[in-house]
Amino acid sequence: MTMRTNSFLFLVILLGILPVSNTQASDSVLKNVVLYSPYTKIVVSPGESIDYSIDLINNGDEITNDNISLSGLPSNWKYDIKSGGWNIRQLAVLPNEKKTFSLTVNVPLKINRGSYNFFVLAGETKLPLSVIVSQQGTYQSEFTTDQPNMQGNSKSNFNFSVTLKNQTADQQLYALMADAPRGWNVVFKPNYKQATSAQIEANASQNIAVEITPAANVEAGSYKIPIRAVTKSTSAELTLEVAITGTFQMELTTPQGLLSSDITAGDTKRIELEIVNTGSSMLKDIQFTSRKPSDWEVSFEPSKIESLKAGATANVTAILKASSKALPGDYVVTIDAKTPEINANAQFRIAVKTPLVWGWMGALIIVITIGGVYYLFRKYGRR
């Protein structure tokens, strides 16, 4: 009885030990291979790339050669698994050693905000990872600049530096355009060379120099110049601003550009003048004066111009009266147009002619002299 009881107890103990021993062995096998990464939850923006460094640890007594893969990653996400510079699908590890491989995950640009979970697998071993997308993704292009406005006079060249960002998943060839006022010139220089287009890789950007030259007679003021980058699927726009400061320039001439005339001594001559505002600011209170020979008279109609816009032209008549005692010859009359900001002048060469009556009188004197000489020869010739 005692032997049977002892045998039964031994059998019970033996049967009880065996399951415990199998469970421990199973747990040991599961813990032989471990995947480890310190960054298991990362917050990123759309379009960013995540680089993981993952250790595959073999705690067992035999070499492991496990398949490396990902599970649960969205289908439009791209990834690479590399070790030793190679793309890998399996990794062998010696007993009680570890191997490190890298995982690069590219977050798409067009993606919803939220949390995305997936697993890295090495055989049956799983490493859970989580990516939190912090904002709503976009599929667009963008023009940016740190300095959207500049100031200078009408003779200045305005050089802007802008950045064109291709926030799409494809390479784009952008046509570069500008809507500038008439007479203005806009030049694009991607890679410091003048061009009308720029090619940019997906999720990349390029710096572009934009050179703006104002029209020759542009008025003072603020001007907006929209620039655009356009493809079949996307576009970007940026408005640049140029502030033109006033320049004061004026030209005094005649409609034909002729600065000479003639006049008879004592007579009056009307000369048409043309005043051109060649600057970029309005001219106000334009007054006229003259520098003339002694005993000459010069007046103007009108006597002054209240205002003249940039690029505009006004006509004034100068009325000259030559001295009655003026001898035949060339005389210089200088006419000045003055404003508080700028002066302009023109020199006219005036040729004075003898009055017609004096010409006839001279001719009469000659005739009388010839007649007198003839009479004297007839009367006293024989003597």
Which fold, 31-133? Immunoglobulin-like (2.60.40)
Closest CA to 100 of 133, 122, 117, 72: 122
pLDDT class of 22 with cuts at 50, 70, 90: very low
Cβ count near 244 (within 10 Å): 23
pLDDT in tens, 37-67: 999 999 998 888 999 999 999 999 999 999 9
Cβ count near 299 (within 10 Å): 13
Nearby residues of 92 by Cβ (< 8 Å), 6 or more positions away: 63, 64, 65, 99
Cα dist. 244→47, 197, 279, 340, 361 in Å?
A: 41, 28, 11, 21, 65
Q: Which two tokens stand for residue 247?
A: 């320049």
CB 217 within 8 A of CB 311: yes
Pick the CATH number of 250-355 from 3.30.70.20, 3.30.70.100, 3.30.1370.100, 2.60.40.10: 2.60.40.10
Q: What is the mean pLDDT of residues 18-42?
A: 62
pLDDT at 154 over 90: no
| Side-chain half-sphere CA neighbours of 194 within 13 A | 5
Q: Whose structure tokens read 């007579």?
A: 267
pLDDT at 14 over 50: no
- Angle value at C-alpha 299, between 315 and 305, nearest 5 degrees: 40
Closest CA to 131 of 103, 152, 99, 170: 103
Which fold, 140-244? Immunoglobulin-like (2.60.40)
Cα distance between residue 36 and residue 349, in whole Å: 99
By DSSP bridging, strand 343-353 and strand 260-264 are parallel
pLDDT at 349 over 50: yes
- 370: three-class secondary structure by DSSP: helix
Q: What is the mean pLDDT of residues 240-261?
A: 89
Q: What percent of the chain has pLDDT above 90?
A: 55
CATH code 2.60.40.10 region(s) in the chain: 31-133, 140-244, 250-355
Nearby residues of 348 by Cβ (< 8 Å), 6 or more positions away: 259, 260, 261, 271, 332, 333, 334, 335
Q: What percent of the chain has pLDDT above 70?
A: 88
CB 223 within 8 A of CB 181: yes
